[in-house]
Structure 1
Amino acid sequence: MSRTVVVTGASGGIGRATAVAFARRGDRVALLARGVTGLEAAAADVRAAGGIPLVVPVDMADAEAVEAAAERVEAELGPIDVWCNVAFSSVFAPFADLTAAEYRRVTEVTYLGFVHGTMAALSRMRPRDAGVVVQTGSALGRRGIPLQSAYCGAKHAVKGFTEAVHTELRAAGSNVAITRVDLPGVNTPQFDWLRNKTGRKPQPVAPIYAPELMADCLVHASEHPRRRAWWVGVPTVYTVLGAEVWPQFMDWYLARTGVDGQLTDEPASDDAATAGNLDAPADGPAGRDYGAEGRFADQQWSWDAQIWASRHHGLLAAAAAGAVGGLAALRRRR
């Protein structure tokens, strides 16, 4: 059965791949982002995949504009069944090199954009007592790393407010669900369009995952929303566990490897320190369509055993129980 789905940050990267993944289900997909060039290209991808697109240019940092976007979506596509928050922006830089204005803007888009989207979604879902909000979280929302303090802070905030909303919905006995999907490093165009003050071109922390695989995880979470959070990929698991079990080791390790591990040897362009998509969309009114994938396609993973295992707990438990039972039977025969 097709659904009405909203995807924010749908013009490129994980948002773009997620919009297409929902379209493959035959869903009606509202595409929210600032960049018109990317949005129009995303709409073409959604049509090709079998979905019905609606392009809605909006800055997620503007609460009134997000509310108006939600009104338009319901007027043109019908009641919103799924709202998937993906949109973000950031700056690659040591904390000492960031300005207060840059920090504020990252927070407004990457954190408050999720708040605004969640508000718009829940104000419609709660009276109907139906619907799902999917938050795109990050391993960096569980453990901060160098060069990304603004992004890490915003993703930590997303985790906190999502947990609070989750418990409020449960306390009210609501059938509306909210879930968070914590992702690892992904091959998206962000490493070409984010503002960068390091002097070198950035890269994802390895291993690098395909955005299409992450999109599949977000769609899966929308179909199984009662799980409060999903850890996606082996790196996310060891990042979360390391931060919880031995944070001092993580401090030491990231101090030694966290900077160079995020930077290539290639120098950044001269305008990278002031450009990026922080204040304006990277594609511009008639610029480049970045698509879903970045420049690391030859390194990306399209499968991970942890992702499969996280979806098949029951099967694994049954297999383990069967193995234990088989061993016990063998011992009795001896």
Structure 2
Amino acid sequence: MSAKHSPVVVVTGASSGIGRETARLHARRGGRLVLASRSRAALETVAQECRELGGQALVVPTDVTDERAVHALAAAAVSRFGRIDIWVGNAGTFAYGAFEDLPSDVFRQVVETNLMGQVHGARAVLPHLRRQGHGTLVLVGSLYSHVGSPAISPYATSKFGLLGFAECLRAELRGSGIRLRLILPSTIDTPIYQHAANFTGRRVRPLPPASSPKRVARAILRAPRSHRFAAFVGRTQTAVRPVHDVAPPVYDAVASWLMDHVELHGRDAEASPGTVFTAPETASPVTGGWRRTRRRVLFGAMVAAAVLALPLRSERRR
């Protein structure tokens, strides 16, 4: 594909994890990339990587909680490449802590980033896509757009909100020529957990099994050609949805047990806002080092034990 006809792709949250891998995949296909995150230095690292893979890359440092900055990002993309074909809303932050223990500014900032950052992105790019009469808006949500869990209330709140926003916007875009696609990953092996705010007093790790960021990036790459509005990534954990919908008390008990016994461990973690307010100075890896076979086996055994134990406990209480 000639450079003139290669897609113009804007990626927010491009300096690590899913965003960085998405940029890589598009670069390998000769894409013209507009890379956004809060740190210019981190973005320059990713941009050089993309150029070496065969793509073009423009760096636009952007805090997605700043609506004016997001509009400037869209304008920079159009100014440089003449159009926007795909906008990938991927920027996100994470916070652990019981709701009553989380500082209100941390809660608000997670929602501002994960939800309002996507809203700002849609406001910024849709006028350009409507003018063109085509284009794809890809929003990265989460399995937590459908289910909750203890100790992650700001993240789940933002992702539930994103699902509602996406469904409303989908209806409004009917017949416009603009595609809206929602990607819903479960646990993905990225550094977001190392970067997370933590007010639990314990160390944190993601709920295994963690899927590769490449799987999410491939789903994002396929999104403009897909006829499906929403695509889940990480099928193992999506199996909890029927339990959540049919037996909420069972789901809550299992989710609480897993948070207390698997996701949280140790007792020596200091309270920290992580990178919720301040970006890392350098680019972070695509992966966070969370995929290990031993943890997958442990996860399966623990879930099975917890689910099987619940009916027995109920019977004993009768």
TM-score (norm 2): 0.87
1:25 aligns with 2:29: yes
Q: Give secondary structure in 1 for the equivalent of 2:224.
A: helix
User: What is the alpha-carbon distance in structure 1 between the residues aligned to residue 261 and residue 74 of structure 2?
Assistant: 41
Aligned residues between the structures: 291
Deviation digits for residues 282-330 of structure 1 (CA, Å, limit 9, x no counterpart): x23xxx43221113244599xxxxxxxxxxxxxxxxxxxxxxxxxxxxx
**Unaligned 5+ runs, structure 1:** 302-334
Aligned to 2:138: 134
Question: Greater CA deviation, 5-14 or 256-265?
Answer: 256-265
Aligned to 2:275: 277
Equivalent of 1:294 in 288, 292, 296: 288
* CA contact 1:208–1:300 (8 Å) conserved in 2: no
Matches within 5 A, 1:116-195: 116-170=120-174, 173-195=175-197
Distance change in 2, residues 1:236/1:132 (3 Å): farther
Aligned to 1:52: 56
Matches within 5 A, 1:1-334: 1=1, 2-170=6-174, 173-224=175-226, 226-265=227-266, 267-268=268-269, 270=270, 273-281=271-279, 283-284=280-281, 288-299=282-293
Shift of 1:238: 1.0
Distance change in 2, residues 1:185/1:144 (3 Å): same
Distance change in 2, residues 1:300/1:221 (3 Å): farther
Shift of 1:159: 0.3
Identical-residue share of aligned pairs (%):
33
Question: Greater CA deviation, 161-170 or 235-244?
Answer: 235-244
Paired amino acid for 1:108? E
User: What is the alpha-carbon distance in structure 2 between the residues aligned to residue 222 and residue 267 of structure 1?
Assistant: 45
User: What is the alpha-carbon distance in structure 2 between the residues aligned to residue 244 and residue 51 of structure 1?
Assistant: 44
Shift of 1:267: 4.0
User: What is the alpha-carbon distance in structure 2 between the residues aligned to residue 258 and residue 298 of structure 1?
Assistant: 19
**Unaligned 5+ runs, structure 2:** 296-318
Q: CA RMSD in A?
A: 1.8
Q: Give secondary structure in 1 for the equivalent of 2:156.
A: helix
* CA contact 1:181–1:231 (8 Å) conserved in 2: yes
Shift of 1:24: 1.6
Structure 1 residue ranges (4+ consecutive) displaced by more than 3 angstroms after TM superposition:
264-268, 297-301
Shift of 1:236: 4.2
User: What is the alpha-carbon distance in structure 2 between the residues aligned to residue 142 and residue 276 of structure 1?
Assistant: 25
User: What is the alpha-carbon distance in structure 2 between the residues aligned to residue 207 and residue 130 of structure 1?
Assistant: 37
User: What is the alpha-carbon distance in structure 2 between the residues aligned to residue 50 and residue 300 of structure 1?
Assistant: 37
* CA contact 2:187–2:234 (8 Å) conserved in 1: no
User: What is the alpha-carbon distance in structure 1 between the residues aligned to residue 116 and residue 14 of structure 2?
Assistant: 17
User: What is the alpha-carbon distance in structure 1 between the residues aligned to residue 191 and residue 138 of structure 2?
Assistant: 22
Aligned to 1:313: none
TM-score (norm 1): 0.83
Shift of 1:157: 0.4
Deviation digits for residues 129-151 of structure 1 (CA, Å, limit 9, x no counterpart): 10001111111110011111000
Shift of 1:223: 2.7
Distance change in 2, residues 1:129/1:196 (3 Å): same
Paired amino acid for 1:198? T
User: What is the alpha-carbon distance in structure 2 between the residues aligned to residue 109 and residue 164 of structure 1?
Assistant: 20
